[in-house]
Amino acid sequence: MDKTLPSLAEAVAGIPDGATIMIGGFGGSGAPIELIHALIDQGAKDLTVINNNAGNGHVGIAALIEQKRVRKMICSFPRSADPRVFTEAYLAGEIELEIVPQGTLAERIRAGGAGIPAFYTPTSYGTDVANGKAIGTFEGREYVQERWLKADYALIKAEEADPHGNLTYRMAARNFNPVMATAATVTIAQASKIVELGAIDPEHVITPGIFVNHIIEVPNPAQEEVLNREGAVYP
Amino acid sequence: MIDLDTIKLSNAQIAWRAAQDIEDGAYVNLGIGFPEMVARFQPEGREAIFHTENGVLDFGKAPEKGDEDWDCINAGKKAITIKPGTAFFHHADSFAMVRGGHLDVAILGAYQIAQNGDLANWSTGKGGVPAVGGAMDLVHGAKRVAVLTDHVTKKGDPKLVAACTMPLTGVGCVTRIYTSLALIDVVDGHFVLREKIPAISFDDLQALTGAPLHTDGEVIDLICPEELA
């Protein structure tokens, strides 16, 4: 078994218009910039994108929005150092926004990957975010029912991958990547390095390959923060 | 009328006061911005372990300019460093720590705090782009939820109110409020004044507070170091 694909273009080739796509990362940390840019080149539109944020500057998710490919963002915090692309699209009514508290977003994705259609959380009880949602009382306290979140595709960023798709991550770039890998029909991981089977200590595997469909090697991946400081614009 | 600007505590002093309540061995989450300052004032001999929502426990100080590693950031997207004891984990684990009752203290900023402990800190309700981040999760689960805030708004209106008029972050969640004038606990639906700066009288403080201040024993003078690095 070898899940390696030769190019980014090939990895994203099958993504259709209207797809729901989870994109890993928290701000720029762990953001699969090269996969996002390949998706921009590929041209799919009317996308629903799930990410913690809604892009920064004019690269990555911000560039995808700027190219008018995103119909809806599902995120916890659509602000950033330079949030103009999303803000202008949102205030112009060109993009839909579903705000989800950050821990609820992570848990909805986890539930999606784990086959749990709904769960109860204390988060957001009594707030506008809970409007219209079922409330349950457990041991005398109120909880809000939240539903799982699944996607057609997940684009994630790993540090090392082996041909079976076992993945490691680097520092805080892990964030949403491992949970998103579990919750999509097709998970595509870019890795800084593809190593041979056995080169990743089994004790160090963070995402087991069963959750991963395709891997692509992207040595020395771009950092969103660095690109933004350089004033980069994609394409 | 008293001139609040000449007597009120600085943000650093408010953060210093909050830091004095963090016990040795506590697991602590500091909100983005002002609350992050609390980490600078850990009392000598105590070791608190700081959690950041994006998946790091027990991180080190900010790196020197130019030494940033952008894979190693905090929830405010600022560069941090690792140190002996640092742990990385994914987002679902991070919020298991938050909601699961594993944090001892969460310290946040506020727009408004009601006398029953309701907190409004994520949206002014006046339009624009809404953004909640991890605040709604953090106010549930930590054993203590503390707020750092100016006692009044820039216009001079009370931030401690009878009932919040802005959209809520959480219901009945705040346990302690460190303001620029006082230290106030929320107990059984009331503000209980524990400490106040000596330069303000109880009556003047009450006039700047949107709900009754109760007392439960002596009100201690709130005195902070003048010079804080």
Q: DSSP for A85-115?
A: HHHHHHHTT-SEEEE--HHHHHHHHHHHHHT
Q: Does some domain include residue A76? A: yes
A33 in any annotated domain: yes
Tokens 């170091």 locate to B225
The first and second tokens of residue B137, run together, are 């999760």
Classify residue A200 by its DSSP letter: S
Per the omega criterion (within 30 degrees of 0), is the bond before A122 cis? no
B48 min Cα distance to partner chain A (Å): 20
Q: Collect all residues of chain B within an 8 Å Cβ-Cβ radius of residue A172.
A: 52, 54-56, 71-73, 88
What gap in Å lies between CA B53 and CA B57, rounded to an integer?
9
A64-83 pLDDT, tens per residue?
Answer: 999 999 999 999 999 999 99
Under DSSP, the state recorded for B169 is S
* Interfacial B residues in 84-123 facing A (CB < 8 Å): 88-92, 94-95, 98-99, 118
Question: With an 8 Å Cβ cutoff, are A28 and B70 in contact?
Answer: yes
User: Which pair of structure tokens corresponds to residue A155?
Assistant: 């684009």
On average, the pLDDT of chain A sits at 98
CATH number, domain of A212, equals 3.40.1080.10
Interface with chain B: mutation pick from A124, A138, A157, A229, highest number of B CBs within 10 Å: A124
Q: How confident is the model at residue B2 (pLDDT cuts 50, 70, 90)?
A: confident
Residue B208 pLDDT: 97
Instruction: Provide the 8-state DSSP code for B112.
Output: E
Contact between B90 and A104 using a beta-carbon 8 Å cutoff? no
One-letter amino acid at A69 equals R
Q: What is the DSSP string of A154-185?
A: EEEEEEEE-TT--B---GGG-TTHHHHHHSEE
Residue A234, in any domain of the structure: no
B54 vs A29, A87, A169: nearest CB: A29
Taking contacts as CB-CB distances below 8 angstroms, the residues of chain A near B56 are 171-172
A121 touches chain B (CB under 8 A): yes
Residue window 33-92, chain A: list those with CB within 8 Å of chain B.
52, 76-81, 83, 86-87, 90-91
pLDDT in tens, A100-147: 999 999 999 999 999 999 999 999 999 999 999 999 999 999 999 999
Mean pLDDT, rounded, for A185-212: 98
Q: Which domain holds residue A27?
A: 8-229
With 90 as the cut, is the pLDDT of residue B109 above it? yes
Instruction: Assess whether pLDDT exceeds 90 at residue B81.
Output: yes
Candidates B32, B54, B93, B108: best to mutate against A (most CBs of A within 10 A) is B54
Paired strand residues for B107: B30, B146
Please list every residue in chain A whose beta carbon sits closer than 8 Å to the beta carbon of residue B135: 101
Domain assignment present for A235: no
Which residues, 6 or more positions from A73, have their beta carbon under 8 angstroms from its beta carbon? A48, A49, A50, A51, A54, A65, A86, A95, A96, A97, A98
Which structure tokens are listed for B129? 């782009």
Q: Which of A22, A56, A77, A97 should one mutate to test binding to chain B, selecting the residue with the greatest count of B CBs within 10 A?
A: A77
Give the tens place of pLDDT for each residue, A55-64: 999 999 999 9
Domain membership flag for residue A1:
no
Q: How confident is the model at residue B228 (pLDDT cuts 50, 70, 90)?
A: confident
User: To the nearest whole number, what is the mean pLDDT of chain B?
Assistant: 95
Catalytic residue check, B68: no
Helix, coil or strand: residue B205: helix
Specify whether the backbone of B181 is left (phi greater than 0), alpha (psi in -120 to 50) or beta: alpha
Active-site hit among B44, B53, B68, B218: B53
| Complex ipTM | 0.96
Are the Cβ atoms of A103 and B95 closer than 8 angstroms? yes
Confidence of residue B1 (pLDDT cuts 50, 70, 90): low
Assigned domain for A3 exists: no
Number of helical H runs and strand E runs in chain A: 7, 10
Question: Is A2 inside any structural domain?
Answer: no
Q: Strand, coil or helix: what is B99?
A: helix
The model's pLDDT over B58-70, given as tens digits with 9 standing for 90+, comes to: 999 899 999 999 9
User: pLDDT above 90 covers what percent of chain B?
Assistant: 91
Average confidence (pLDDT) over B180-198: 98
Q: Which residue of B has its CA nearest to A110?
A: B92
Give the integer Cα–Cα distance in Å for B18 and A57: 36
Q: What is the pLDDT of residue B229?
A: 65
Q: What is the pTM of this model?
A: 0.96
pLDDT at B57 over 80: yes
At residue A102, the 3 state secondary structure works out as helix
Average pLDDT for A16-35: 98
Q: Which of A28, A87, A100 sits opposite B129 (nearest CB)?
A: A87
Q: How far apart are CA B206 and CA B182, in angstroms?
A: 11
Q: What is the CATH number of domain B4-221?
A: 3.40.1080.10
Number of domains comprising chain A? 1
CB B8 within 8 A of CB B196: no
User: For the segment B12-52, what is each residue's pLDDT rounded down to a tens digit?
Assistant: 999 999 999 999 999 999 998 899 999 999 999 999 999 99
Find out whether A55 and A76 touch, Cβ atoms under 8 Å.
no
Can you tell me the mean pLDDT for A182-210? 98
Closest CA to B122 of B113, B146, B131: B131
User: Which pLDDT tens digit goes with each residue over B123-162?
Assistant: 888 888 989 999 999 999 899 999 999 999 999 999 999 9
